[in-house]
Amino acid sequence: MQLFLDTTDVAVLKDLAATGLVDGVTTNPTLIAKSGRPMLQVIAEICAAIEGPVSAEVAAMDTAGMLDEGRRLAAIAPNVVVKVPLTRDGLIATREFAHEGIATNVTLCFSAAQALLAAKAGASYISPFIGRLDDVGADGMDLIVEIRAIYDNYGFDTEILAASIRSPAHVTTAALAGANCATIPPDVFNALFKHPLTERGLDQFMADWAKTGQSIL
């Protein structure tokens, strides 16, 4: 499974990318607003720091506007993925972007039927929002399972990018359900490294090693 970071904090991105475990980045209007910086500048900096796909979202709600904005975003760097909403206009734009060879991430997916349409439109990625479904009493992972089955049935190339990830358990379950990627906040990424038994075991090993008085070097 590919792991993307859901953030616009370039310093954090560079730090976590140093692990060699970051495959890409996703952004959205909320994250751009929190950064307090010009969007095009932020996306350019992220693309320079990360070799993998970087999702940058359009703000227009009509097809023509999405196409104009998407082309402008795609021109920033070769690894930009244009992020469009899962609406009728968004999927029409996605279809045109596919013809033009521009990668797309169709976002705010909450049903398998929506995911089917996105794949038919030629989306590079579909982003089902797991956590938000959980928030309203549904099981977000059921959606991942349904999309995986539909895409496998018909050989769609669209990659499932699990979004609205809230915990390491979400990452694990999405991987088991067959998601190709997961986009996660930095705090969840850091939590993936941790387990109390790992820490407890390491403390014990280090205490026992100190008792030997030895040095490897």
Catalytic residues: 83
Query: Strands 159-162 and 54-57, how do they pair?
Result: unpaired
Q: State how far the Cα of 147 lies from the Cα of 133, in Å rounded to an integer.
A: 15
What CA dihedral angle connects 191, 196, 202 and 207, to 10 degrees?
140
Q: State how far the Cα of 159 lies from the Cα of 64, in Å rounded to an integer.
A: 25
How far, rounded to the nearest angstrom, does the alpha carbon of residue 124 sit from its chain's CA centroid? 12
**Cα separations (Å) of 155 from 115, 152, 204?**
13, 5, 50
